[in-house]
């Protein structure tokens, strides 16, 4: 099934770097549909699908679920979006995600927004978050951070080499980050 080409912005950054918080704000103010890959996966598991147990195990290990699953969820979500610009939070997570996206979707993102935040700040935010996420425990948090560092490095190298990465420092209050992000958004996409 072919989906009309959209302007896709990937928002990436370590666990707790503030991706969801900022994407919500952009989505609210600019009317851009926003898809959190993690939320899509959690809903799929909650729906009681046959592969749910296996997916939940992967999440608890802080590992990355198979690209075909993720890209399939994103394609389905994007197909229902009427806007020609979409925000995707938390994808890609590794090189395999990136290449499967390219072959399955058929075109690449326009921009990668990298949320840059010190590890200890991210970890502290996740420790404090009390939303009952199964992966917000010390053990899993450690693995999420580790996997982000090791698996995203080659993805970021790839996108930097083609000039698609914009880095935003997220070790500051939500409003400060958003004032930079929203003006960037206004310049490029509004
Ligand atoms: N907070 C936010 N901004 C703040 C600020 N500026 N100052 C102080 N506090 C701030 O924020 C995290 C917490 O910090 C919140 O309590 C918030 O209020 C506060 P949030 O905006 O939720 O940060 P975010 O970067 O979205 O953190 P999240 O935990 O969602 O990041 P992850 O990347 O770990 O989670 P995600 O849901 O994307 O993925 C979960 C798992 O799913 C992955 O580990 C992986 O196993 C799997 N997955 C895949 O396999 N493939 C995918 O493509 C995607 C996910
Ligand atoms: Mg999130």
Residues with CB under 5 A from ligand 2 (ion): 19-20
Per-residue confidence (pLDDT) for residue 4, from 0 to 100: 73
The pLDDT of residue 3 is 52
- Ligand 1 site, residue 122, Cβ cutoff 6 A: no
Which protein residue has the closest C-alpha to ligand 1 atom 46? 59
Collapsed DSSP state (helix, strand, coil) of residue 97: helix
Alpha carbons 20 and 39: distance in angstroms, whole number: 10
State the 10-residue block means of pLDDT for the chain, 190 residues long. 80 98 98 97 96 97 97 96 95 98 97 98 96 96 98 98 98 98 96
Report the side by side order of strands in the sheet with 85-89: 34-36, 85-89, 7-13, 111-116, 165-169
Collapsing DSSP to helix, strand or coil, 111 comes out as: strand
The pLDDT assigned to 190 comes to: 84
Q: How far apart are CA 71 and CA 94, in angstroms?
A: 13
Q: Which domains does the chain have, with CATH numbers?
A: 7-189 (3.40.50.300)
Q: Which ligand sits nearest to residue 129's alpha carbon?
A: 1
Q: Are 183 and 165 in contact (CB under 8 A)?
A: no
pTM for this model (two decimals): 0.97
62 close to 135: Cβ distance less than 8 angstroms: yes
pLDDT of residue 1: 46
Cα pseudo-dihedral 180, 162, 115, 67, rounded to 10: 140
How far is the centre of ligand 2, averaged over its atoms, from the C-alpha of 19 (Å)? Answer: 5
Of the listed ligands, the closest to the CA of 42 is 1
Residue 20 Cβ inside 6 Å of ligand 1? The answer reads: yes
Ligand 1 atom at shortest distance from the alpha carbon of 97: 53
Tell the burial category of 79 from Cβ atoms under 10 Å away from its Cβ (0-12, 13-18, 19+).
Answer: exposed
According to the model, what pLDDT value does residue 2 have?
53
């Amino acid at each position: 099934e072919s989906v009309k080409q959209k302007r896709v912005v990937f928002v990436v950054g370590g666990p707790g770097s503030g991706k969801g918080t900022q994407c919500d704000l952009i989505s609210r103010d600019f009317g851009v549909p926003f898809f959190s890959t993690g939320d899509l996966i959690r809903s799929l598991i909650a729906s009681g699908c046959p592969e749910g147990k296996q997916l939940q195990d992967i999440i608890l290990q802080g590992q990355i679920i198979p690209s075909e699953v993720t890209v399939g969820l994103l394609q389905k979500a994007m197909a229902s979006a009427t806007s020609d610009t979409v925000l995707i939070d938390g994808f890609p997570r590794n090189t395999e995600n990136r290449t499967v996206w390219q072959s399955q979707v058929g075109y690449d993102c326009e921009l990668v927004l990298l949320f840059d935040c010190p590890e200890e700040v991210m970890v502290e935010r996740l420790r404090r978050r009390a939303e009952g996420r199964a992966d917000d425990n010390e053990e899993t948090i450690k693995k999420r951070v580790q996997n982000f560092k090791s698996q995203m490095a080659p993805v970021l190298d790839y996108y930097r080499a083609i000039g698609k990465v914009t880095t935003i420092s997220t070790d500051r209050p939500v409003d400060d980050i958003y004032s930079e992000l929203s003006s960037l958004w206004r310049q490029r996409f509004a």
